[in-house]
Structures are given as structure tokens and as C-alpha cells.
């Protein structure tokens, strides 16, 4: 017979908001918003502390979610939405710094938002427990991207570093000794292959998710016709 003291306390909806990974997520949101106010005139404060802190905290919420068994759907959505908001916000500001490439910035934001939203929606309606859990037969590149945590972290980190370096390059940040080229410029070149790879993954992700939705639609329509 189990004593009353051994019965686990029920989790309330309100308690979800105070889970450790979600508190980390709020910290990401706060530092991201603060970076909006410093981005135009204080690149060192922005990228040395605020925006970078928001990005770095992303490495800890998932760890603590697994460590304390606090993985939640709310946390997954908070994490993805914050990721998309941070990247797109920086790209918007790059559009201010490099206005000649405004079409490219618009295309990048559109691809980023569309690919992740459609992917998450397709995963949900297909019954997946997580947008990072790929179904059998999924594209091998997406399986590598989402199911290998180290690989996922490195790709996302270097993708963000590419945009951060472009931002810092505008401010002629940290010149390489003995040269007329900024360190940010070389960092942009170094990260560009990974950035390009990330955009390819976004395209594959979008196409794969659309195919999943089309398959589900076909199955549902065929099932409905058989029922009639």
C-alpha cells in the first residue's frame, strides 16, 4: 500500500510557467528585448552581453529540461519562438545597416519563419511528440540536423555568429593587427559555409513539411471517401 506521502504532487498549469527551463527562456526574452535598445549605437554591449546572452542561454534550457524532467510543450514553443524572434530581429537591423540587400534580408526572414512554422505544424498534426523528433523515412539531413544535439548546436551557433559578425563588421569592430580588415569580416567568411548549409536545411525542412501535410490531407480525404 502506497502512503499518502509517497503520492507525487499533481502539476498545476501555473507551475509549468515556473519550471527552470522556462525561467531560462524568460531570461532569453528579456535580454533580447534589451538588445533592441542598444543595437544602434552600442555594439559591444549588444553583442558582448545582451544579444549574445540570449543566444547562449539557449544551450541551457534544453539541458535543464532533460535534467529535471521538465520538458513541456510550452517550453518547446517558447524556445522556438524566441529563436525565430532573435534571428529575425537581427536580420531586420542588418537591413538597416546594409539597405542595398533588403530583398535578401526579406527572403531570409521569410524562409526562416515559414520553414520553422510549417515544420512544427506538420510535426504536431502528424502526432509527433516533438518538432525535433523525425519520423521514419524523413530526409537524412534533417535527421542529422535535429537528432544530433551537438551538430544542431554548432550549426545554430555558427549561423547566429554569421549574422553577429556582419553586424559587428559595419562598426569596424576589432581590426586584425597589421591589416586593414576587421576580425568580424574574417569571422563572417569563416561562418558563411555553415550559414549557407543552414539555409539549405530550411528549404529542405519546408519542402519536407509540405509533403507531410499533403500526405496527411490525402489520407484524410481517402478515409472520408471510404466512410461515405
Per residue in 171-217, pLDDT (tens digit) is 877 766 666 778 888 899 999 999 999 999 999 999 999 999 999 99
* Over residues 43-48, mean pLDDT: 91
- State yes or no: pLDDT of 66 exceeds 60: yes
**What does the domain layout of the chain look like in residue ranges?**
10-227
* Over residues 54-61, mean pLDDT: 87
* Over residues 42-66, mean pLDDT: 89
10-227: CATH topology = 1.20.120
* Over residues 149-177, mean pLDDT: 87
pTM score, whole prediction = 0.87
**What is the reported pLDDT for 2?**
42
**What is the reported pLDDT for 129?**
65
Q: How many Cβ atoms from other residues are within 10 Å of residue 26's Cβ? A: 14
Per residue in 21-41, pLDDT (tens digit) is 999 999 999 999 999 999 999
pLDDT band at 94 (very low <50, low <70, confident <90, very high): very high
Residues recognised as catalytic:
83
CB hemisphere CA count around 78 (13 angstroms): 26
**What is the reported pLDDT for 4?**
44
Amino acid at each position: 500500500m502506497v502512503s499518502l506521502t509517497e503520492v507525487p504532487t499533481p502539476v498545476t498549469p501555473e507551475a509549468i510557467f515556473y519550471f527552470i527551463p522556462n525561467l531560462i527562456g524568460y531570461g532569453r526574452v528579456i535580454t533580447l528585448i534589451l538588445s533592441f535598445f542598444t543595437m544602434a549605437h552600442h555594439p559591444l554591449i549588444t553583442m558582448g552581453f545582451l544579444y549574445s546572452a540570449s543566444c547562449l542561454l539557449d544551450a541551457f534550457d534544453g539541458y535543464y529540461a532533460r535534467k529535471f524532467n521538465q520538458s513541456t510543450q510550452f517550453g518547446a514553443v517558447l524556445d522556438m519562438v524566441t529563436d525565430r524572434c532573435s534571428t529575425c530581429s537581427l536580420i531586420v537591423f542588418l537591413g538597416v545597416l546594409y539597405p542595398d540587400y533588403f530583398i535578401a534580408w526579406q527572403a531570409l526572414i521569410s524562409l526562416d519563419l515559414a520553414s520553422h512554422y510549417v515544420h512544427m505544424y506538420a510535426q504536431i498534426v502528424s502526432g509527433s511528440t516533438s518538432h525535433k523528433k523525425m519520423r521514419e523515412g524523413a530526409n537524412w539531413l534533417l535527421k542529422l540536423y535535429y537528432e544530433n544535439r551537438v551538430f544542431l548546436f554548432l550549426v545554430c551557433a555558427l549561423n547566429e555568429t554569421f549574422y553577429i559578425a556582419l553586424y559587428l563588421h559595419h562598426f569596424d569592430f576589432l581590426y586584425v593587427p597589421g591589416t586593414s580588415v576587421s576580425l568580424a569580416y574574417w569571422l563572417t567568411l569563416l561562418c558563411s559555409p555553415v550559414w549557407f548549409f543552414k539555409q539549405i536545411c530550411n528549404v529542405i525542412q519546408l519542402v519536407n513539411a509540405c509533403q507531410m501535410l499533403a500526405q496527411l490531407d490525402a489520407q484524410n480525404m481517402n478515409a472520408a471517401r471510404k466512410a461515405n
